[in-house]
Chains A and B, each alone.
Chain A
Amino acid sequence: MRNGVANLVSEVSGSPQYHLDKIRQLKARQHNKFEPKGDPSLQNSLEMARSLLKYNFGSNANNTKNSKEILVIFGALFTSDPGDIHKTIGNLVKDDIKVKVIGLSAQVAICQELVNRTNREEKNTSSKNYGVIMNESHFKELLMDCVTPLPLTEQEKEFEESNHGVPVIKMGFPTKIQPTGNSSIGNTDFTIEFPQLNASFPTAGSDDSSDVVQINHNMGATTTGVAVGYQCPQCKSKVCNLPTICPVCGLMLILSTHLARSYHHLVPLRPYKEVPISSTYESQFCFGCQLQFPKGVRTTSKSKGKLESMTSSRYRCMKCSKDFCINCDVFVHEVLHNCPGCENSK
C-alpha cells in the first residue's frame, strides 16, 4: 500500500519462486512506482486482496476445501480510507478470509478489530494473529508463526465428519505451450525450434545499459516468446497460470511438480547408520560425491585422539549398503530425499 492506493506486486500463484523473483525485482529497482509515499489505505489493500483471493480460488464446488488468508505487514499507525473499513471487514468475514497482522510500530485498534472479527474471536482480545514486533528476530518469529496452516473451524469439521471418506479430486496435468517460430538449419537435416525472436539489445556492460535491457525485456514479455501458457488436457483451452481451474471444462489444472513437492514425506528416506570403526573398510570413497574416506587404522594407543580412530566417517544406507560421507548424508536427507545408491541398484 502506498499513497492511498493498493499496488499489486505479485499475482496469486502457487509457485514460491515466482513471488521471490517479484519481490527481488521490487527490491532491486529503486526510484520506481513502489517507492514509499503518502498514506496507507488498509481498506484498499484488503479489498484488493479479497478480490484476488475470491476470483482466483473461485466460488466453485470445492470452495470448502480452500482456506484463504491475508497477511498484513503494517507499519503505519493510521489508515486513510476512501470508505467504511468496517464494511470491508464484514465482507472478509462473509468470504471466510482470515487476516493476520504483523505491526511494525505499535498496536492499532482497527487492526485488532480486523483480526478479531475475521478469525472469529471475542472482541478486543489479544490474539496470536496480531503481533507487534519488538526487534528483527521477533519479526522473523511472528512471520514464521504465520506459516502453519489454519486449523479447521467447527463448521468445516462438521462438514468433514458428515462426509464419509475423503474426497477424490479429478485433476488435469496440462502441457506447457509456447508460441514458436520454426527455423531450420541447412535443409531438412535437423530443425530447431526457436522461441520467437526477442529484440536483442547490445549491452555495453555498464550499469545503465543493463538496466535498459531489463526494462525492455519486461516490456516485451507480453508479446514475445516469454509468453507461455498451459493447455488443458481435456478441452484444449489455454490458461496462463497454474494451478487453476479450467475456465471451460472446470477441470482442476495443476503442474505435477506442485503435487510432487510433498512426496518425500510419503516415502521418507531411511536414515543412514554409521559404520563401526574397524581396521579395514570395504569402501574407499563416498558413493555420492566420490570423496575419499580416511583409511582404517588399528586402534592402538598411539593413534588415539586422531580423527581416524574416533569415527569411520562412513554412513551406510541399510538398503543398498553403500557408504556415504557425512556431508552427503545431510544433503541426501535434507535436500535430495533420494538415496543415490538405492536409485542405482533397485
Chain B
Amino acid sequence: MEAISERVFTEPTSSSEAISDEPSLLTIILDISPLGWYKLRDLMTLEEMTKNLLVFLNAHLALNNSNQVAFIASSPKGSRFLYPNPAKSYQEVKVSDGATSARDFVNKGMYRQFRIVDKAVLEELNEFLNEINKDQDDTMLADPASKLSGALSMALTYTNRMLTLDQSITTTTASAIASTTSSSASAASSTATGAGGASSGSSSTSMKSRILVVSANDDNDVKYIPIMNTIFAAQKMKLSIDIIKLGDEENSSYLQQPSDATNGIYLHLTDPRGIIQVLSTAYFIEPSLRPFIILPTNSNVNYRASCFITGKAVDVGYVCSVCLCIMSIIPDSKKCPTCNSQFDERIIHQLTKEPEVVKKKRKIDSK
C-alpha cells in the first residue's frame, strides 16, 4: 500500500519539474459564424459551447498559477479579443463597493481568476454578438467568408508578445504589459498587484503556448495563403494548433492542415454534447507531454491545396514552375495568372491530350 501511494506521489513531481513547470498560454479561437451554429441548433447552442470552453479555460488556469488564457471570437465580420480586453479593467476592487454590482469581477465563492475570465468572456461575447446583429445588413452578405486566418494571426501576434517580449522585460513595456492585463491607475501598483499573468512575465523561462480553434464552419471558403502563412509562423514558434470541428463536413482540409503541420490534434465531433469530456481528455494535454500519451487524432489528413483561379480545393492540379502557383485548370491564355509567364505549349499539349486508343494492338490480338 505504501509503495503504491509513494509511487503516485513521486511520479508527477519529478516529471513536472522536468517538463511542465513553465507557464503555458492557451488561446481559444471560437468561430461564431452564424450559419455553422444555425445548423447545429438542435445539438448545441453557442452559449452552451462557451460555457464548456470556460470550464476548460478555468481548468487550464487551475493547473498552474501562472498559466494564462486568451479568448478570441472570430466571425465573418472580423475577430476580436474577448479576453484579455485591454480596454476593460479587471481590477474592479473595492473602490466603489456598491456601485459595481453589474459587472463586479470579484465574487466571494469563486477563485478570482476564474471569475474574471468567465465574466469578461461572456460580457464581451454578448457585446460582440449584439454588434454583429446591429449592422447585419450588407456587409455580411457581401463577404461571408470565414475570418479564421485573421483570428489566427491575432492569436499568433498575441502569443509572440507573451513568448518573446515578456522575457526581455524593460521598464517601459513592463508597465504597458501590466496595464493591459490589469489596467490599474499607477504603473507601480499594477506591477505589484498584477494578477497572475503579469507576474509570470518577469520570469525568464519561456512560455509554452498552444491555440485551440473551435469551428462549426462547414464551407471551405477560407483564404488559403494566409492560413498557410499562419501555419509556418506557428511552426517557427513551436506552438501547436488544436482543432475541434463541429458540423457536418468531416474533413475540412484547411482546418486539418494547421493541426497536422503543427503537431496538434484535430477531432471532428458529430455530436458536441459531450464536448467537455473531449476537451478535458484530448485537448488538455500539454504539447510537451503529447509524445508520451496516446492521443486521439484523426487518421486521414487531407492535404489539398487551393486553386489560385477558382479558389476551390484541388487534389490534382497544375503548378507553374516559376512561381509555384497552383491551378486546377490551365487558363486559356496559357499564361500563369500570377507571374504571367508563358507556359510551354508542348507540355500543355502533353498534359491535356486525350487518351488514345492504339489500334495496332488489336491487330496483333486478332492474329
Knowing A205-B11, A217-B291, say if A256 contacts B303 (CB, 8 Å). yes
Instruction: Give bound CA distance, A291 to B159, whole Å.
Output: 12
Q: Compute how far the CA of A178 lies from the CA of B294 in the bound complex, rounded to whole angstroms.
A: 14
- A selection of 12 A-B contacts at a CB cut-off of 8 Å is A165-B344, A165-B345, A166-B322, A195-B297, A205-B18, A259-B326, A284-B86, A290-B81, A291-B180, A327-B165, A338-B149, A343-B149
Q: Chain B residues with Cβ under 8 A from A192's Cβ?
A: 267, 278, 282, 296
Count of residues in B whose CB is under 8 Å from the partner chain: 102
Contact present for B157 and A289 (CB under 8 Å)? yes
Q: Is the CB of A343 within 8 A of B303?
A: no
Pick the contact of B343 from A165, A172, A327 — CB < 8 Å?
Answer: A165
B87 surroundings in chain A (CB, below 8 A): 284-285
Q: Which A residues are closer than 8 A to B by beta carbons?
A: 17, 65, 163-180, 189-190, 192-195, 197-198, 200, 203-206, 213, 217, 225, 230, 233-234, 251, 255-257, 259-264, 266-267, 284-292, 294, 307, 324, 327-328, 331-332, 335-346
A180 to B237, CA, bound (A): 30
The reply to whether A233 and B315 contact each other, CB–CB distance below 8 Å, is: yes
CB distance from B132 to the nearest CB of A (A): 13
**With A260-B228, A264-B229, A291-B180 as contacts: A168 and B296 at CB distance below 8 Å:** no
Binding site for A on B (CB under 8 A): 10-11, 13-15, 18, 78-79, 81, 84-87, 143, 147, 149-151, 153-154, 156-158, 160-161, 164-165, 172-173, 176-177, 179-180, 183, 223-226, 228-233, 235-237, 257, 260-261, 267, 269-271, 273-274, 278, 282, 291-306, 314-327, 330, 334, 336, 338-339, 341-348, 351
Indicate if the CB atoms of A195 and B153 lie closer than 8 Å: no
Interface centre among B13, B14, B233, B303 (most CB of A within 10 A): B303
The answer to whether A261 and B232 touch across the interface, beta carbons within 8 angstroms, is: yes
Closest to A231 in B: B300
Closest Cβ–Cβ distance, residue B206 to chain A (whole Å): 16
Central interface residue in A180, A192, A290, by most chain B CB within 10 Å: A290
Which of B160, B225, B305 contacts A267, CB < 8 Å? B225
Contact (Cβ within 8 A) B305 A173: yes
Given the complex of chains A and B, what is the CA–CA distance between A328 and B155 in angstroms? 12
Instruction: Let me know if A164 and B228 touch, CB within 8 A.
Output: no
A168-B351, A257-B228 in contact; A193/B297 too (CB < 8 A)?
Answer: yes
Q: How far apart are A296's CB and chain B's nearest CB, in angstroms?
A: 15
Given known A-B contacts A233-B315, A266-B323, A164 and B345 have beta carbons under 8 A apart? yes
The one of B81, B86, B230, B348 that contacts A168, using a Cβ cutoff of 8 Å? B348
| Chain B nearest CB, measured from A278 CB (Å) | 19
For A176, the closest partner residue in chain B by CB is B301
From B78, B150, B153, B327, residue with most partner A Cβ within 10 Å: B153
A204 to B14, CA, bound (A): 8
- Given known contacts A178-B299, A192-B296, A255-B303, A170 and B235 CB-to-CB distance under 8 angstroms: no
Check B319 against A168 for contact (C-beta < 8 Å): yes
Query: Besides the contacts A176-B300, A195-B299, what 4 more A-B pairs have beta carbons closer than 8 Å?
Result: A168-B321, A169-B318, A263-B229, A343-B147
Query: Which of A164, A172, A289 contacts B315 (CB under 8 A)?
Result: A172
Output the nearest chain B residue to A257 by Cβ-Cβ distance: B261
- Given A164-B345, A171-B316, A284-B87: A205 touches B14 (CB 8 Å cut-off): yes
| Cβ–Cβ contact B305 & A166, under 8 A | no
Query: What chain A residues lie within 8 Å of B306 (beta carbons)?
Result: 256
**B contact residues around A285 at 8 Å (CB):** 86-87, 180
Q: Does B161 contact A173, Cβ atoms closer than 8 Å? A: no
Output the least CB separation between A345 and chain B (Å). 6
A259 touches B324 (CB 8 A): yes
A256–B230 alpha-carbon span in the complex (Å): 14
Tell me the complex Cα distance, A268–B48, Å: 41
Known: A172-B316, A205-B11, A217-B291. A288 touches B153 (CB 8 A): yes
In this complex, the member of A200, A257, A327, A344 whose beta carbon has the largest number of chain B beta carbons within 10 angstroms is A344
Instruction: Please name all residues of chain B whose beta carbon is closer than 8 Å to the beta carbon of A324 when the two chains form the complex.
Output: 157
Complex contacts, A332 vs chain B, CB 8 Å: 153, 157
Bound-state Cα–Cα, A200 to B300, Å: 23
Known: A166-B341, A168-B351, A266-B325. A328 touches B157 (CB 8 A): yes
In the A-B complex, the 8 residue pairs with the closest CB atoms:
A288-B157, A205-B14, A343-B150, A344-B150, A256-B305, A260-B228, A176-B301, A233-B315
Q: Given A284-B87, A328-B157, A175 and B225 touching (CB < 8 A)? A: no
Check if B315 sits within 8 Å of A173, measured CB to CB: yes
Residues of B within 8 A of A175 (CB): 300-304
Residues in A neighbouring B325, C-beta threshold 8 A: 266
Chain A residues, Cβ within 8 Å of B153 = 288, 332, 336, 338-340, 343
- With A177-B300, A327-B161, A328-B157 as given contacts, are A170 and B226 in contact (CB-CB < 8 Å)? no
Q: A260-B225, A261-B232, A262-B324 are in contact. Are A167 and B316 (CB under 8 A)?
A: no
Quick check: B230 and A194 within 8 Å, CB to CB? no
Q: Is the CB of A290 within 8 A of B301?
A: no
Complexed CA–CA distance, A233 and B296 (Å): 25
Name which residue of chain B comes closest to A213, CB basis.
B292
